[in-house]
Amino acid sequence: MTSVAERVPLERISQRAHAARPGRTALAVIASVLFGLGWLIARALSVAWIGAAYAAAALAEGWIAGRSAEWAQQVARRQEAQRAGRRR
């Protein structure tokens, strides 16, 4: 029965470790971190944009509803004033 240490290809691992370029590896790690940050920022901004657009649309709908209710009240007051003037 072989032990786990005997089954591990230490020679291949050693060759790969010596062939690795530390500068290139560091650049790949930095690039990966920057890419990840950019991706997260893009997602956050897209969610913020959708939220802002939704809030603006809700504000516009509320404004229109409020203005039309105010306009309807003004029309009703004018009609009541006209009716009251006719009765006298």
Q: Which pLDDT tens digit goes with each residue over 50-86?
A: 999 999 999 999 988 888 888 888 888 988 888 888 7
Mean pLDDT throughout 34-61?
Answer: 96
Distances (CA, A) of 34 to 23, 29, 48, 55, 79: 16, 9, 21, 31, 67
What pLDDT is attached to residue 8?
85
The owner of tokens 């060759």 is 15
Euclidean distance between CA atoms 88 and 86, whole angstroms: 6
What pLDDT is attached to residue 6?
79
Euclidean distance between CA atoms 41 and 31, whole angstroms: 15
Indicate the domain borders of the chain: 4-87
Tokens encoding 3: 């032990």
What is this structure's pTM? Answer: 0.49
Mean pLDDT throughout 12-33?
Answer: 90
